[in-house]
Amino acid sequence: MVLIKLVDREDLEVLIHGTKPILEQLFYQVGKWKPTNVSNERHVWIRCSGILLHAWHNSFFEFITSDLGIFLTVDMDIMLKKKLGMA
For the chain, what are the domain ranges? 1-35, 41-87
Name the strand (E) or helix (H) holding 24: helix 20-26
pLDDT digits (tens, 9 = 90+) for 39-59: 787 888 888 888 888 888 888
Residue 9 pLDDT greater than 80, yes or no: no
What is the predicted pLDDT for the residue at 85? 82
Rounded Cα–Cα distance for residues 46 and 60 (Å): 13
**DSSP assignments along 42-54, one per residue:** -------B---GG
What is the predicted pLDDT for the residue at 25? 87
CA nearest neighbour of 42 among 61, 62, 68: 68
pTM for the full predicted model: 0.50
Q: Hey, what amino acid is at 55?
A: A
